[in-house]
Amino acid sequence: MRLGIFLLAARFPDRPPAPTHHRSKDELRSNANGDAAALARTVEAAVAAERAGFDDVWLAEHHFMSYGVVPSATVLAGHILATTTRVDVGTAVSVLSTQHPVALAEQAAMLSLLSGGRFRLGVGRGGPWRDLEVFGTGLPRYEHGLAESLDLLLAWLRSDRLAWSGEHFRFREVPVVPRAPVPPQVTVACTSPATETLAARRGLPMLLGMHVGPDEKAAAVARHGDPSLPHISTHVAQVADTREEAVTTLMDEMPRWLGPGLEGYVAVDDRPRPSRDPVAYTRLMCDLHPVGSPDDCVESLVTTAERTGIRHLILLVEAAGSRTATLENIARLGADVLPKVRAAM
């Protein structure tokens, strides 16, 4: 049984944000300070997770939004690998639609070599966001290029020399440098049966998100067809003395940073996007995930593991919206929840 933490590095607002064109210089400077605080808090949380007994740390990647201020999960992973000694560090996820798979594979190989094999690479399609315009990859790569991007990344990690001729990428043979003798584990974020099939055909484990519960995740594992692979299940986790206290904390605090953050998801082609109610979404997270007393959290995590067969769970620990609350949550999960989950499994 592996238990890790998942970090968004969200910017936690001190007050409701104003529209960009109305912001003063002081407000813009405050955002910059908020980004520095978010990154420092994320590194501190990773170190705390290692101290608390977690097995790994997973880092989200986002662009142009306060929902997460990490534009390169691999860069931050390298920093955290250098400040820790035991935990594995992974990306959840590096977006294949906005970067060249060879460049990502080179970074992954280097991090694996520098860390003695502690780096893990999670990849995904991403969304139809304005990232595609800014980085010049466009909707065609997003809509039709995931399979080729994934195949090229895997081929690079497993080769000494490589040439490529495909729809989206084409180059003459070049040497693979650096070459990791044991390539890092690659995991694919799956939010649809089509992506599940893509991962299954390549023998890759899935990373399953927070928006679905154990029954839906069990169905995804069944569709994938190989329950023996090290699939990963993602959860929101908040521990308190009682379930009521934990739920109240999240309902009071999570929408405060989640709402402004979700506004950053802007479609590249201005297609209509249904808005997500941050209060309703927080309520869903409380209903689906380990939010409550230590025993409530243990029961929720064990239930997921038993229903899905997944033995690797990662926990979003910063939903309460502050540095202090995050560190307290990590420490208490490590002391009061992790040992009981491991004992039960």
Domains and CATH numbers, the chain: 2-344 (3.20.20.30)
215 CB-side CA count, 13 A: 1
Q: What pLDDT digit, counting tens, does each position of 48-107 carry?
A: 999 999 999 999 999 999 999 999 999 999 999 999 999 999 999 999 999 999 999 999
Over residues 5-33, the pLDDT tens digits come to: 999 999 998 744 434 444 444 444 545 68
Give 127: exposed, middle or buried? Use CB within 10 Å, 0-12, 13-18, 19+. Answer: middle
Tell me the mean pLDDT in the region 131-160.
Answer: 97
Count Cβ atoms below 10 Å from residue 199 Cβ, excluding itself. 24
Instruction: Determine the Cα–Cα distance for residues 183 and 151; give it in Å rounded to an integer.
Output: 14
Single pTM value for the model:
0.94
Query: What percent of the chain has pLDDT above 70?
Result: 95
Task: Count Cα atoms within 13 angstroms, Cβ side, for 218.
Answer: 10
Sequence-distant (6+) residues with CB within 8 A of 188 are: 122, 123, 124, 150, 195, 198, 199, 204, 205, 206, 207
Would strands 206-208 and 186-189 be described as parallel, antiparallel, or unpaired? parallel
For the chain, what is the mean pLDDT?
Answer: 94
The confidence score (pLDDT) of residue 249 equals 98
Q: Among 18-27, 314-323, 330-339, name the one with the lowest average pLDDT.
A: 18-27
The predicted pLDDT at position 341 comes to: 98
Q: What is the mean pLDDT of residues 243-254?
A: 98
Judged against a pLDDT cut of 90, whether residue 274 lies above it is answered with: no
CA distance 217 to 311: 12
pLDDT for the residue numbered 20: 43
Strands 161-165 and 170-175 come out as antiparallel
pLDDT of residue 272: 82
Q: Which residues contact 70 (CB under 8 A, 6 or more apart)?
A: 9, 39, 42, 59, 60, 61, 62, 76
Predicted pLDDT at 275: 84
Q: What is the pLDDT of residue 193?
A: 96
Q: What is the pLDDT of residue 273?
A: 79
Angle at 152 between CA 61 and CA 210, to 5 degrees: 35
**Cis, peptide link before residue 47, omega less than 30° from 0:** no
Is pLDDT above 80 for 40?
yes
The answer, yes or no, to whether residue 142 has pLDDT greater than 90, is yes
- Please answer whether residues 26 and 86 qualify as being in contact, where contact means their C-beta atoms are separated by less than 8 angstroms: no
Express as a percent the part of the chain with pLDDT over 90. Answer: 92
Cβ-based burial of 61 (10 A; exposed 0-12, middle 13-18, buried ≥19) = buried
Q: What is the DSSP letter of 136?
A: T
Rounded Cα distance between 207 and 219, Å, is: 14
CA angle 134, 89, 164 (to 5 degrees): 50
Q: How far apart, in whole angstroms, are the C-alpha atoms of residue 115 and residue 113? A: 6
State the Cα torsion 299-206-132-212 to the nearest 10°. -30
40 CB-near residues (< 8 Å, 6+ apart):
none
Helices (H), 163-242: 193-201, 214-224
Count of beta carbons in the 10 Å neighbourhood of residue 275: 10
Across residues 305-326, what is the average pLDDT?
Answer: 98
**276-289: average pLDDT:** 97
